[in-house]
Amino acid sequence: MKIIDSSFEKLNINNSTLLKTKTRYGTKEPPAFTVNLDENSQNGTLIKTYGLLGEYYDQWITPSKGWFEVYKEFYADGNIKVKRIYNKTSPGDYGKLYEFDKIGKLIKTVDFENTWKTSFTTITEIADKYAKKSHYLYFKSRTERKPRLQPLS
């Protein structure tokens, strides 16, 4: 499962759509400004970008399908600072975390799964096989917020 990698990225901090969301933050002088943009891609992925201009930017990328969402933090100039994944439904550390210096050089990699006896992907494959073997149907009704397992009749 490769959702993110250690490649350099740069956020376009001069994106006109992002800059249109600029609002004053606080009352101290000189003034500080934030940006806050939510975008939906054609495939249903939600991209939320937040930033304090001149300080940092955060970005959450949440696909409509799948277990994980991607978190990225950027320096004030838009260069990547941190890249990692989070499980949408369960707290904890999964996959890899990448940290970069201000010029974009990879300085640290943390593999949260290196001490696991199995991977998250393998666990979900085992659960899927068990559900099929036990004739369970996984579904999400229109009125429910959380998915559930139902035995097949």
Chunked into runs of 10 residues, the chain (153 residues) has average pLDDT values of: 87 96 92 94 94 96 88 97 88 87 96 77 73 61 46 47
CA neighbor of 133 nearest in space, from 112, 151, 113, 119: 151
Q: Which residues contact 42 (CB under 8 A, 6 or more apart)?
A: none
Question: What region, left, alpha or beta, does residue 8 occupy, with left being phi > 0 and alpha being psi -120 to 50 degrees?
Answer: beta
What is the residue whose two structure tokens read 């006109």?
A: 16
User: Tell me, what's the pLDDT at 90?
Assistant: 74
Question: Do residues 34 and 18 touch, judged by C-beta distance below 8 A?
Answer: no
Query: For position 1, what pLDDT does the model report?
Result: 54
Question: What local confidence, expressed as pLDDT, does residue 153 receive?
Answer: 46
pLDDT of residue 126: 73
Q: Say if residues 26 and 42 touch (Cβ distance below 8 Å).
A: no
Listed residue (3, 6, 12) closest to 99, CA to CA: 6
